[in-house]
């Protein structure tokens, strides 16, 4: 990681989404001798989940409407817990479970089997809380932001204003599912990174898409971050940055 912005060093970015069917794609990679990077750009309401340990990383992206579904009028996205379709499109994928009876969720695009594995708990079984990290990059609800009482827009981009707290927030369904996958002896650090989606109907905001770090999540692994063989990974979620050293294999 002493290579600055020389992203070509990490190879072509791996992807986590299918824009045609909107099914999720997961990347699960064991840290080894090769550098790599996984990129999800252009979040405008979607959610990205990263699980990273000292052994490996698992990462995927969930399209907003395809994953969460729509109400009876086909307008508002569903936000409540206990939805069977959300279980099929998100939670069962985390577990690596096949869906044999896809349910509709009010969104026109039908269920498509995801690509890639679910979370392999044997790769994320570090018992120290600081060793296994879960990052969830998920949107706030713009309608929960009271601009009259906040000094800056950034003051409203907080976890209490999440659009889907029962699903992606702390102790929400994704959190409890990942804890269940990893088992009772593993206590991952669960970090919710809220973001304000770009307003695609605003020409000024829409023009920003893809021009800066807004709405982007990047995970990079470097087997020689300091030129002396120190392995490290780093996660960049808009302006949130985390880096962690990875011990040499036994």
Q: Does a structural domain hold residue 22?
A: yes
Q: Does a structural domain hold residue 98?
A: yes
Residue 152 has pLDDT above 60, yes or no: no
Q: Does a structural domain hold residue 132?
A: yes
Q: Does a structural domain hold residue 62?
A: yes
* pLDDT, mean over the chain: 90
The total domain count for the chain is 1
* Selection from 157, 161, 149, 138 nearest residue 237 by Cα: 138
Q: Does a structural domain hold residue 1?
A: no
Is 1 or 43 the better-scoring residue by pLDDT? 43
Contact between 78 and 67 (Cβ < 8 Å): no
Q: Does a structural domain hold residue 217?
A: yes
Contact between 179 and 237 (Cβ < 8 Å): no
What average pLDDT score do residues 234-243 get? 94
Question: 193-209 pLDDT, tens per residue?
Answer: 999 888 888 888 788 87
Question: 105-132 pLDDT, tens per residue?
Answer: 999 999 999 999 999 999 998 776 568 9
Residue 216 has pLDDT above 80, yes or no: yes
Q: Does a structural domain hold residue 133?
A: yes
| Domain span holding position 29 | 7-246
Note the pTM of the prediction, 2 decimals.
0.93
Q: Does a structural domain hold residue 2?
A: no
The pLDDT of residue 5 is: 46
What average pLDDT score do residues 72-82 get? 94
Residue 63 has pLDDT above 80, yes or no: yes
Contact between 83 and 69 (Cβ < 8 Å): yes
Residue 151 has pLDDT above 70, yes or no: no
Contact between 137 and 116 (Cβ < 8 Å): no
* Selection from 47, 71, 70 nearest residue 59 by Cα: 47
């Amino acid at each position: 990681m002493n290579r600055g912005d020389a992203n070509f060093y990490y190879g072509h970015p791996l992807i986590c989404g299918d824009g045609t069917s909107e099914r999720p794609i997961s990347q699960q990679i064991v840290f080894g001798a090769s550098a790599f990077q996984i990129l999800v750009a252009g979040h405008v309401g979607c959610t990205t989940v990263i699980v990273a340990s000292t052994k490996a990383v698992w990462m995927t992206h969930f399209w907003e409407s395809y994953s969460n579904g729509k109400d009876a009028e086909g307008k508002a996205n569903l936000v409540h817990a206990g939805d069977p379709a959300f279980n099929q499109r998100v939670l069962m994928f985390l577990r690596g479970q096949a869906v044999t009876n896809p349910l509709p969720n009010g969104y026109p695009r039908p269920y498509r089997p995801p690509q890639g594995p679910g979370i392999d708990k044997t790769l994320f079984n570090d018992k120290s809380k600081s060793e296994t990290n879960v990052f969830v990059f998920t949107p706030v609800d713009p309608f929960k932001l009271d601009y009259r009482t906040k000094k800056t827009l950034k003051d409203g981009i907080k976890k209490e204003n999440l659009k889907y707290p029962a699903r992606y927030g702390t102790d929400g369904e994704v959190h409890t599912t990942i804890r269940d996958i990893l088992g009772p002896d593993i206590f991952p650090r669960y970090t919710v990174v809220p973001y304000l989606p770009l307003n695609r109907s605003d020409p000024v905001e829409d023009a920003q898409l893809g021009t800066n770090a807004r709405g982007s999540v990047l995970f990079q692994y470097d087997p020689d971050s300091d030129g002396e063989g120190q392995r490290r990974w780093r996660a960049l979620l808009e302006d949130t940055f985390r880096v962690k050293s990875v011990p040499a294999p036994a």
